[in-house]
Amino acid sequence: MKNLSKTSKIPKIIELEDGTTLIERFSSVRRFEHWFAVIIFLFLATTGLPQKYYTTEWAAELLRWFGGLDQLRGAHRLFGLFFCTHLVIHLLNIVLEVMRDHIRMTLFPTRKDLSDMVQTISYYLGHREKQPIYPKFDYRQKFEYLAIVLCSIVMAVSGLVLFFPIELMQVMSGEVILVAREMHSSQAVLALLLIIIWHLYGAQLSPEVFPGNASIVHGYMTKQELARKHGAEYERLFGPLDGQSVPRQARESSHEKKEGV
């Protein structure tokens, strides 16, 4: 096994003894962030939804489970603070790393994403023979990431308003509380639906990835998979794809020089 990458903008590339080439998709930090967010998200949903649907029987059941409203609300707020902290660290990290030119903005939407979307839909409808060549993260994944980040910001800000309403009321009108409550409540539903419908389908339930995309577990994607799903990233790392979307052996050997630069 040898590690081929030299700079941080080129991901780790590992060649296994059986000849499989693995490209790092998510660093250990990003994987940790993902699973941390999963736990926090599930906990916040569990403690938050009963507060929205307070008349239901399951809300009462959860309340019983937590031992009362004060406990439920306290837990929700504590985990909300964890969530906010993570969000701030994540965003700061992205900004700093981009400023230092350590990372590429692979999740930033571009004009190509729009044309990718149009082309993909026309491929689905049978107007095109092939799918477009996607970058490291395709437009569906970029949409999801940005939507979730945006949801998180709205949730964090409105959540903090609801956490400290009286303090905030020293400088603002009371209507802010009502607006924050409305936003926190609706945005939560939007975020939950995004995760349940879009993320679970894209990352687990879609027949193309079922029973799940394991790259978020071990962090790697095979070279073939990269060529098939994220051709543009493949080309950035290994040179042009051939017409079959499957890398030729010759190209695989030539890239090593390139990586070594």
Partner 1 sequence: MKWLNILGLLGVISGSAFAEGISVKAADPARNCQNCHAQIKSRLHFSDGSSQTLQVDETQLNDSIHGGRLGCSDCHQEKWGNTHPSVESRSVRDFSIKQSETCKRCHFAHYTRQVDGIHFKLLNQGRTDAPTCVDCHGAHDVKDPKNPRVVMNRKCGACHKEVMKTYENSIHGKGLVEANQDHPLCIDCHGAHKIEKSDEMNFRVSVHLVCGKCHGDAERMKKYNLNPNVLSTYLDDFHGMSNQFYQTQGKDGAQAKKYFATCTDCHGAHDVQSLRNKDSAGQVRKKVIKTCVSCHKTGKDWLADAWLSHQKPTRETAHWVWGVKKFYSFLIPLIMAGLLLHILLHLWKLRSNRSKGKQK
Q: What is the CA radius of gyration of the chain?
A: 22
CB of 73 to partner 1, least distance (A): 8
- One-letter identity of residue 100: R
Does position 64 interact with partner 1 (CB under 8 A)? The reply is: yes
Rule CB under 8 A: say whether 198 interacts with partner 1.
yes
**210 binds partner 1, rule: CB under 8 A:** no
Task: Tell me whether residue 7 or residue 170 sits nearer to partner 1 (CB atom).
Answer: 170
Q: At 115, list the tokens.
A: 């044309």
* Cα separation, 62 vs 252, whole angstroms: 55
Which residue stretch of 33-41, 65-73, 104-112, 228-236 sits at the interface with partner 1 (rule: CB under 8 A)?
Answer: 65-73
Q: Length of the chain, please?
A: 261
Residue 150 within binding range of partner 1, rule CB under 8 A: no
CA 14/CA 24 separation, integer angstroms: 8
Residue with tokens 């949409």: 143
Nearer to partner 1, 165 or 239 (CB): 165
Binding residue for partner 1, selected from 2, 17, 18, 55, defined by CB under 8 A: 55
CA–CA dist 194, 151 (Å, integer) = 10
Render the burial of 119-129: b for 16+ CB within 10 Å, e for the rest: bbeeeeeeeee
67 φψ region: left (φ > 0), alpha (ψ -120 to 50), beta (else): left
78 touching partner 1, by CB under 8 A? no
Of residues 108-137, those binding partner 1 (CB under 8 A):
121, 123-126
- Interface with partner 1 includes 74 (CB under 8 A)? no
Applying CB under 8 A, the residues found at the interface with partner 1 are 51, 54-55, 60, 63-64, 67-70, 72, 121, 123-126, 140, 165-167, 169-170, 172-175, 177-179, 181-183, 186-187, 189-190, 193-194, 197-198, 201, 206-208
